[in-house]
Structure formats: C-alpha cells, structure tokens
Chain A
Amino acid sequence: MSARTRRLAAFTGAIAALAVALSSCSAASSGGGGGGASGSDSSEPGTGGTAVGFIMVGPKDDFGYNQAVYDGSEIIKKKFPDLKVITAENVPEDDNAARTMEQMIDKGAKIIFATSYGHLDAAVQVAKDHPDVVVIQQGNTITDTVEPNMGTYFGTVYEPMYLAGIAAGKATKSDKLGYVYAFPIPQTIANINAFERGAQSVNPDAETITVSTSSWCDPAKQRSAADSLLSQGVDVITQHQDCTKTVIEAAEAKGAMTVGYHADASSLAPKGWITGAVWNWGPLYTDIVQTIVDGKFVGSEYNANYRVGYKTGENPFVLAPYGKVVDAQTKAAIETAKAFLSTATGSPFVGPVIAQDGSIAVAAGKVPTYAEVDGMNYFVKGVIGKLSS
C-alpha cells in the first residue's frame, strides 16, 4: 500500500470513527456550562448566599475600568461584613466567564457582578441555569426579556465626557482631538459623539479623530494608535480603553494633553492632564447588593436595564480633578453645562444633531432619552474616522 493510499485510508477511517462517535452521543443541548440549578425556588433570588462575586475582564490595577470595579468591590467588603467578596480578574469575554461564575456559585455566591460589556452572553447563560442567583451585568443592554434574576446597570458615561469635551475644546490649539477606542458599540459611540459636541460647543472648529484597537486593553496597539494620532497633529488625546496608562504616557511624552477615562490618572500626566471622567461605583454597588439581600430584587429598577445620569440621580461616573491647563472661564462653562444636563430637557444630544454623512440624526428641539442614546450607531459631524458596521 502506498503512503498516499494509507493516508487516505487513515482519513476515511477518521471520518468513519467520527460518524460513529457522533451518532452514539446524546443530542446537543443549548446549555453552556450549566451545572444544574442549586437551592430552592421558594426564596427570592440572590438571598441566602455567603458571598458576592465580581468578574473583571482585565487586571484589577489597570489605572482604569477594572481598577474602578475592584475599588467598588472593596466598598462592598466593608459595607457587608457577613458576605465574602470574591473577585476574579482577567476573565475573558467568552465561555471562560461562565466557568468562573459557576465556580463562584459553588463557593456560596448568590450575587454575581459580571462587569465587562462582553460578559453578557455568559451572564445570561449562568442566570438561566441558576434561577436562585442574581447575575447583574455592567454596561451592556439586555435586548430581549429580562430574566427575574438578571439586570444591567451603568452610568451615563457620555455626560461627563461631554463636559470633558468642553475642557478639551478650550485647551486645544490645533483644533484636533484624538480618541482611542476599543469597539464601535453604542456606549463608545455616544462617548465619542458627546466629547466632540462638548468641544464644538466652545470651539466650532474642533474635530475628533478616532482610532480603534479592537481590544479593551492591548498596550502595543494603544501605543501605535496614540502615536498615529499625535503624528496627525492631535494635541489632546482621550480614550475608551480599560487600561489607560499607555495612551496617557504616550501623550505626555510628546507634550500633548490628556483627558482621562475610568480612573484618575493625573499622576501619570503632571503637565498635560486636563480632566477625566472616572467611576465611583461604591454607592451604586452598595444599593444593588442591599436591594438583593433584602429580597426586593425582582421587579426593582435593577431587574432591568438600569441607567443613572445627572437627570435621574447620582451618576456613578464623575469628573476627575482639573489639571492646571483648565482656566476659571472653562470651569464656569463646565458648571453651566452640567447644570443644563441635569435638567429635564438637558442632553449632549439636544437636536439638531447632524450625523457624519450630513443627515439629521436628531430633529431640532428633540431631546433623546437615555435609552435612545444607548442605541446610538452613528458618528456626528466633526468626528473623523469610519464607523464600521
């Protein structure tokens, strides 16, 4: 028998063996990594646990998103001494997330915070498999029916970014602002648009050049994105990345200014720091956990896509301290804008909003709701860069 025929025979054998293996197995179930429901259905979901779990997509000391989550979990540790707080960092946005959450449930967690946008699929899966556990997801939106033991929550991140845009629009000398972002999701798009509109409100010539990295935290890509922006004459850089250090250091090294994101990183940019939009999760996390342990989760505002902003309460996303480039006049403009955003008719997107292609995205005089902004899928005029969709 020649080597080729033998190989063919081996291949045919493999296919045959596979066919046997496939037919002898049970039918596929749609379940992911479900270990079966635990606990009884009579009690309210989320009650009776001994632990609270937090999964984070990146490291808990990233000068950004995940550090803010970790700081929030530390507050829960203090406020609820009876509950053990278990955290897992670097949990990818795939099936690994479900596995880690299952482990947390086995360790007594009845409340789980899945804190990255892409953790939603796994979170929904785990929530369906464990009706007695409340899984609550940070930043994404559940588009179909919300399970009684699920919910999402977030701040209106684009509101402080609008205010930061005002500061950036005043500070820029080249009228070119740079934005490093991860994925063209509505949350990010709204941020970029709000930033540009804030800048435009004080500087009509300001434009925002965007670069995508396709990753929440990839320092190598961040570095090249920042360098590419700086080489185009951008003198203020901001970002929507989980880890923010690389971009800020790159800007500072080239003498450009920085608007921070997620966490106060002014220590990284003593010269160029303008301001930033940063998280203060403590109060919101505390209220969510309190609601769940009180057995009042089902039907509560958290058992839905909960969004809180200047209009509706205490936005967990706040403006970071100002750097020295921000003058008194700019500060006053920001205060005025903030007061405006807090009114019923206030929004960074009060019509008319003109989209990048010249079409009218929001009609004159119309004020989009938080939910409408959450579905934003276009760049506004003044934003440079193609939105891949």
Chain B
Amino acid sequence: MTTTLPAPRSEAPLPVAPPEAPASDRGARLAQATVRWIAALGGAFLIFSALLISKNANPLTVYTDAWNSTFARQQSIEDIVIKMAPFVLAALAVVVPARAGMANVGGEGQVIIGAVAACGTAMAVGDALPGVTVMVLMMLAGMVAGALWAGIAGAMRLLLKVNEAVTTLLLNYVALDVLLFLIYQPWRADPTGQPATKELQTAAKLPLLAGTTVNVGIVIAVIAVVLVWIALSFTTWGFSLSVVGGNAEAARRAGLPVAKLLLSALLVGGALAGLAGMVHFAGVEYKLRPGFGAQIGYTAFLASWLARHKPIPVLLACFVFAALTVAGDSLQLDAGLPAATVNILTGLILIAVLGWTTSTRKANS
C-alpha cells in the first residue's frame, strides 16, 4: 500500500467529507434528534404496552418489575456487562466492513470459529504455559481464525464476484458444522454425555474484575472500540475505507487499492468477531457446546445497524441489547409472559430507531 493518497485526477473528484456544521445549527439538530429518539422509543413502548394489556399484564407493573430486577440489582448489571462484551466485539466486526460498504452477516460463524481456535489452542498448550500466555495465544488464535474465516468470503468476493452478504451468511452454517464435528468426535470430553469439550483449565479463564463476576472481556471490548474508532476516523486506511464505501468506482479512479481495502476490512472484521468468540469461550462458557455463541453474531449485526455502524454508539446499542436479554428474565419470572415477548420489544425498538434514522437522512439531505 502506498504511503499517501495520490493526487486526485481532474476528471474524478474525490468524494468530499460533509462540511462541518456551524455550532448553533448543530445544537438545533441535536435537540431535534433527541426529540425524535424519545418519540421513536416512546412509540415502541406504547405498542408494546398494548401487547402487554392484550396479554392481561399491567404495563406499569411489568416495566417497574423489569426495571427493578434489571437495573436495581447488582448481579443483573454485572450480567449485562458480561453479555455485552462479545456483542460489542462482534458488532465492530460489522462496523469495519460496513465502512467499506460491505455487509458482514457472518459474525455468527466467525464467533464460533474464533472460539474453536481458542479452545483448540488451550487444549494443545494444556498446562505447559502460564495462564496469561495461554490467554494471549487464545486471543491471537481466535483473531487469526476469525479473520481467515471472513477472508474466505473476501476472496470469493474479489475472485468470483460473489456478494459477501451471501457468503458470510452461508459460512455460518459451515462453521456450525465444524463445531459440531469437533465436539461430537475428536474433542468430545465425555463419550456418553451431551457433546461438549472439556472445561477450559482454570488458569486460562479470563480473570474477573476485582470484586465482581464480570470478566475482563468488557475491557477488551472497550479497548477494541477505541482502536476501531481511531483506525476509522484518523488513519489513511480508515479514510480510504469510507471512500471505497462511498463510491468504489471513484476510489478506483483515484488510485486506491480497492481490492486490498475491501479484503482488509473483512479480515479486520473477522478478527474482531473471532476475538468475540474467544472472550465468550474463555470468559463465560469455558466449554464448546452445540449451541455455543448462538445469536451473538446476529444480535451484534442488529446492534451495529442500531448504532448506524459507528464504533462509539455500538457500546450503547450493545448495552441495550444485553439489558433487554436480562430484562427478558423479569418479563417471564415476574409477569409470567412468554419468553418470546422480549424479542417483540427488541424488534419494536429496532424498527422505531431504524425508522428514525431514515427520516434523519431525508431531513438532512
């Protein structure tokens, strides 16, 4: 890759970054945005309340109970933070390729492959090395494996012109089969029980933040968010990605190595999802089981959309999804509502917020 962008040719003007809005204008827009957010979320909760009433539940009681058992309970807060770490990493795996205009729907599979690589590394190393070394090796293995898995889709896009949204999605099923093969056959711990690997050695489990049940996955996730934000906002690479994402043809004419950029975005995305798999494996599950990591990739995909593919808001979006999962317990346990109820609430919030996004674009253009 060359050091600087080549000078734009006269017939192909570089896409220009939107001009900075004056401060007063920005304030007004912020106020407008806040109002829209409140309206969208309020609407979602209003529709959900109607559903609750139809199920003979009192919305006020349901919301109060859900709030109390989700945010007024130390363990629940910790559960949310534990759950959100792999979400954040897997959402970043959508954010980076999205910057280059690609849809990485393969988080689900990349998470699994990352965890598989981490587990394989831990089993290969055993107790021969100190725990911290094993952790770092597991992280590297998870990231490399995730990147390679996404790289398959990248190569197919570049060589065969197959859309990466299709290949990444289909590779999820292949990843699941790889996982099932390993835990049914070579890695199976107990030949008579439900297929699973043996538990990760204690020394290699991710350490907990002092005085809590939260593993360091969240620290890793926050660091990753900051790094991705820096990489996308302040590096040539990040800028080039957005040029490619904005108009690939223009980028090509401007002399950008489009193929390399696309591939690199997918590889970085895959590595982040692989890291998510490692964090979930070494921080929460400690074993590979048939349903390992289920829904992390898809939830993260939605979270990235909710955050409009921006790294910092991803944190908030993932917190919301993790909190909704934990709040789902209360909907069942306190109000006796079916388990799927919380999915409806999630769906409503998603539609409301995404609908809001569209209207902003219209309003701004």
Contacts and interface: CB of A to CB of B under 8 A. Distances in A.
B290 A95 contact: no
Contacts of B184: 184, 214, 388
A94 B292 contact: yes
B132 interface: yes
Interface stretch (B12-20, B41-49, B119-127, B206-214): B206-214
B230 to A, nearest CB: 7
A340 B207 CA distance: 56
Given A21-B223, A118-B289, A214-B290, A3 B240 contact: yes
B295 to A, nearest CB: 9
Nearest to A186: B192
B338 to A, nearest CB: 7
**Closest 3 CB pairs between A and B?**
A90-B339, A3-B237, A25-B207
Interface in A12-55: 13-15, 17-19, 21-23, 25-35, 53
Contact of A7 (B135, B213, B237, B287): B237
Contact of A106 (B75, B223, B332): B75
Contact of B329 (A18, A26, A100): A100
A322 B113 CA distance: 47
B227 A10 contact: yes
A89 B227 contact: no
**For this complex, into which size category does the number of interface residues on chain B fall?**
35 or more
Given A25-B207, A89-B332, A106-B69, A14 B194 contact: no
A353 B99 CA distance: 63
B252 interface: no
B279 to A, nearest CB: 11
**Taking each of A33, A93, A99, which has the highest tally of chain B beta carbons within 10 Å of its own beta carbon?**
A99
Given A3-B240, A18-B223, A375-B192, A30 B205 contact: yes
Contacts of A15: 136
Interface in B198-220: 202-203, 205-211, 213, 215-216, 219-220
A18 B188 CA distance: 31
Contact of A95 (B73, B224, B231, B285): B285
B213 A183 contact: no
Contacts of B139: 18
A103 interface: yes
A236 interface: no
A53 B332 CA distance: 11
B50 interface: no
B259 interface: no
Nearest to A376: B192
Contacts of A104: 333
A243 to B, nearest CB: 14
B208 A28 contact: yes
B276 to A, nearest CB: 14
B136 A103 contact: no
B6 interface: no
A2 B3 contact: yes
A362 interface: no
